[in-house]
Structure 1
């Protein structure tokens, strides 16, 4: 649960930065959000979630 909340916050910050710096329009951000919302209800959602968890564990295992 913490990973998904922090992921949402991180992606939200990235969207805000894109809106301010790179000229991403608000309508584009809304369309991307709706796409993600509808994608979450498809059959591919578990695979996306597993891929995200795998990437998070890979990045979490990197030692500096």
Structure 2
């Protein structure tokens, strides 16, 4: 996926907003971080990458 860094920045901003304004607790952040690392090393990682790539292409494609 060539849009990895901007996507990471967008997700990071969304997490910061959730933490700052919605009341996301620190342990929720840690739990999501650990889940993400475990998911990235699982057999589902390529499928998730293809799904995200398809979604980003769909959003960025001009009709």
TM-score by structure 1 length?
Answer: 0.90
Instruction: Flag structure 1 segments of 5+ consecutive residues without an equivalent.
Output: none
* Secondary structure of 1:43 counterpart: coil
Residue by residue over 1:26-61, the C-alpha shift from the partner in whole angstroms, topping out at 9 and shown as x without a partner, is 110111011011100000000000000000000001
CA RMSD of aligned residues (A): 1.3
TM-score by structure 2 length?
Answer: 0.92
Task: State the 1:2 CA deviation.
Answer: 4.4
The one of the two structures with greater contact order (alpha-carbon pairs below 8 A, sep at least 6) is: 2
Instruction: Flag structure 2 segments of 5+ consecutive residues without an equivalent.
Output: none
- Where has structure 1 moved over 3 Å in runs of 4 or more? none
2:2 and 2:9 mapped to 1: Cα distance?
11
- Count of residues paired in the alignment: 63
